[in-house]
Amino acid sequence: MKKNSQKGKKNTGGRPVKFDPATLTPRQRLDLANALNRERENEVVAGKLIPRDEVERASRQDGGMVRSELLGLGSKIAPQLVGLDEIEIKTVVDQWATETLAAWAAWAGAEVER
């Protein structure tokens, strides 16, 4: 088998080389960790990744909005349901759900299929 210019290293023919992180020296592990951190930071700057705290904050806001809407369901649609039959009730509930999802999607910058 051919050897490359580094003594003792096998030529892999362009295939990715698998390595065992346990074989790295402490300095190599530090260099690898720093390189991975720089790569992640570059992806954030390029808009390919979103910082975790921003995602968590947005998720909490989304959850809070959905929670508020769901908790308000009874008082919001109960008066509309008085005297309706099953099909009419379903229509009102479906309309409320669609409007709620559309409001959430508009807030989140998405669209809801109707």
Report the pLDDT value the prediction gives residue 84, as an integer from 0 to 100.
94
Report the pLDDT value the prediction gives residue 3, as an integer from 0 to 100.
47
Residues in contact with 53: Cβ distance below 8 Å, sequence separation at least 6, in sequence order: none
* Cα–Cα distance for residue pair 31/27, rounded to 1 Å: 6
Tell me the per-residue pLDDT of 47-58, one tens digit each, with 9 for 90 and over.
888 888 888 888
* Cα–Cα distance for residue pair 41/58, rounded to 1 Å: 20
pTM of the model: 0.44
Report the pLDDT value the prediction gives residue 86, as an integer from 0 to 100.
94
The SS3 of residue 3 is strand
In this predicted structure, the answer to whether residue 25 has a pLDDT above a threshold of 70 is yes
More confident residue, 59 or 94: 94
Question: CA torsion 22→52→42→35, rounded to 10°?
Answer: -10
Tell me the per-residue pLDDT of 57-84, one tens digit each, with 9 for 90 and over.
888 887 887 888 888 888 888 998 999 9
Residues in contact with 84: Cβ distance below 8 Å, sequence separation at least 6, in sequence order: 92
Residue 100 burial (CB count, 10 A): 19
